[in-house]
């Protein structure tokens, strides 16, 4: 495992490159996903990413 940190910008760029959304749309998508994950964890539920 590496010590590299993946940022929101990294995730947005990956979505932009792989999916073809605009950079703004990619950033919005990443923010929506991360917000949903945070809300779920805050409510005490488990998040599984596989």
For the chain, what are the domain ranges? 8-42
Q: What are phi and psi of 43, to 5 degrees?
A: -80, 0
Q: What is the pTM of this model?
A: 0.83
Tell me what the mean pLDDT of segment 29-44 comes to: 98
Decide which of 20 and 39 is more confident: 39
Is the pLDDT reported for residue 1 higher than 70?
no
Residue 19: predicted pLDDT: 96
pLDDT at position 34 over 90 = yes
Say how far apart CA 20 and CA 35 lie, in whole Å: 22
Q: What is the rounded distance in angstroms from the CA atom of residue 35 to the CA atom of residue 18?
A: 21
Contact 26, 9 (CB under 8 A): no
Q: Are the C-beta atoms of residues 37 and 31 closer than 8 Å to each other?
A: no
Distance CA 38, CA 5 (A): 18
């Amino acid at each position: 495992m590496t010590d590299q940190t993946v940022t929101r910008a990294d995730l947005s760029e990956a979505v932009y490159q792989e999916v073809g959304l605009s950079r703004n749309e990619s950033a919005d998508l990443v923010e929506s996903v991360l917000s949903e994950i945070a809300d779920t964890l805050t409510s005490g539920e488990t998040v599984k990413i596989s």
